[in-house]
Chains A and B, each alone.
Chain A
Amino acid sequence: MPMRMEPSGTVVRFDEVGFAYPAPGGGRGPEVLRGMSLALDDGSFTWLLGPSGAGKTSALRLMHAALRPTRGAVEVLGVATGPAARGALPVLRRKIGVVHQDLRLLPHLSTFDNVALPLRLARRPEARVAQEVTEMLTWIGLEHRAQARPEELSGGEQQRAAIARAVVSRPALLLADEPTGNVDAAQARRLLALFAEMNRLGTTIVIATHSEDLVGRFPAPMMRLERGRILDHDE
């Protein structure tokens, strides 16, 4: 893993952000995020809390440039995602690691190849890909499952593989949506320790969860959402 980098400013900035998904019949549906304003510093660790439907996943997708705001401004790693050209977003996304709630491992690829995807997209030499993926799988305890396909892995192993894929390229920003949802308490603690280690090494981390228990194990700034609005954000 790299040496810790010194914080250099704001990584994520929301300014009066609103977002509404397209309505089935055309136009836009009701806003799921309303008037969100926030600023996350480089190297910070933030818990994104709130009940189901509060807007946590939509907020993470805006931070990942997988969605564009329908009003207000979103700036991630210095890129204003709203007005940015479509061709500029892939470069931004390669700097962001994401752990989706539904994991989204490619079923026809082995664990090794799933984890290698971001490195291959970045056109790293294959020898380096092999070395870094092997290191990552060892670090996350999946080295013996490298050639197994996702369907052959347990829920916890799949979760760890998804996390390994998100962090293998050492992203500047890591977004995780309920990353411990499928694992037992011991496994959850292990994953949390992994995120803490990454954060110590300089990665800005945002983890969405509705588990207050998980938050209690790793005290960090919390942002609480409810019905698309930020209730409170302690920094």
Chain B
Amino acid sequence: MAGSTRRDPLGLRRAMSDRLLQALIAAMALLACLGFAAARGVEALGERWRQGAEAAVTIQVPDPTRTRIALALGVLATLPEVADANPVDPDRLAELLRPWLGEQPNLALPGVIEVRLRNLDADVALIGDRVAEAVPGAVTEAHGLWVGRLAALATAVQGVAYAALVLVGLIAVAVVAVATRAALIARQDSVAVLHQLGATDREIAGRFSGRAMILALGGGVAGVLVAVPAFFLLARLAQPFGGEVMAEALSGLPWASLPWRDIAMVPVAAGAIGWLTAQAVVRVWLARLP
């Protein structure tokens, strides 16, 4: 008892409720973790899609003689919007199609040229027309453009996720500020007595900010503990979009791909927000005293 009052002369353990503030900070921490998960997950998907979008255009050349392929490559080389054009190895193509076509050694497969564009907004129809003029029957497909648009969407979603994180941080600041102000009002007479006895602003603000930091840190840890299972569930659901098979066992989940550093930073950030906000609120309040 004597020890606790020595450390807590303002009685902040009672004045600064541990339950409500910690619960609210835990909710903020959970949202922050989910925000990080969304941002990092979308970033990874977007990156994968972006890589796919680089091969934005494929050109199929029926009757793929060496001459016709060379002719098509020659036309593509003259187009400024084309960054790169490479014929797909016929053996690799046959391997890719085997699940659908089976072993069909006599089936005449078209030659395929992967085209990387300098700019995804380039007019693909024009490229197709130029190639078809030189190589009759050549067909151009621009499936990668949709992937590019998806990648752009992913970038936008990522931006929204980071904006949501900032908003969560601001709400956490507001929650701590309200709790600190309520505790100040509850203990204003005691604060005035300490001030009159010669306590400095740093000493008084330190009492509040220490308490706020402990509560926010605890809330942050609780939020992370709740977030991690949800985070794994989302990671598992997102696996197919990354070209992986959905894991059935915990060991199959993408443990290494989780943003552990971000997760670890959430309670630390919560504690820092608690400390800094309480310091600011109390010091502004104390500035009114002589």
A interface with B by C-beta (< 8 Å):
64-68, 86-87, 89-95, 98, 104, 106, 108-110, 112-113, 116-118, 120-122, 126, 165
Contacts and interface: CB of A to CB of B under 8 A. Distances in A.
Given A90-B199, A93-B198, A113 B5 contact: yes
Nearest to A104: B193
Contacts of B189: 104, 106
A117 B194 contact: yes
B6 A106 contact: no
A117 B6 contact: no
Nearest to A166: B197
Contacts of A121: 194, 197-199, 203
A93 B193 CA distance: 11
Contact of B14 (A86, A108, A126, A165): A108
Contact of A65 (B6, B200, B203, B290): B290
B190 interface: yes
A104 B6 CA distance: 18
Interface in B183-203: 189-190, 192-201, 203
Contact of A112 (B2, B11, B192): B2
B5 A64 contact: no
| Interface SS of B by simple majority | helix
B128 interface: no
Interface string B100-129: 000000000000000000000000000000
B198 A118 contact: yes
B87 interface: no
A109 B197 contact: no
B206 interface: no
Contacts of B6: 113, 116, 120, 126
Contacts of A66: 196, 290
B290 A106 contact: no
B11 A109 contact: yes
Given A90-B200, A92-B198, A117-B9, 14 more contacts: A64-B196, A87-B200, A87-B201, A90-B199, A91-B198, A93-B197, A104-B193, A106-B9, A109-B5, A109-B11, A110-B1, A121-B198, A122-B198, A165-B197
A89 B290 contact: yes
Contacts of A118: 197-198
A113 B195 CA distance: 16
Interface string B166-192: 000000000000000000000001101
A108 B198 contact: no
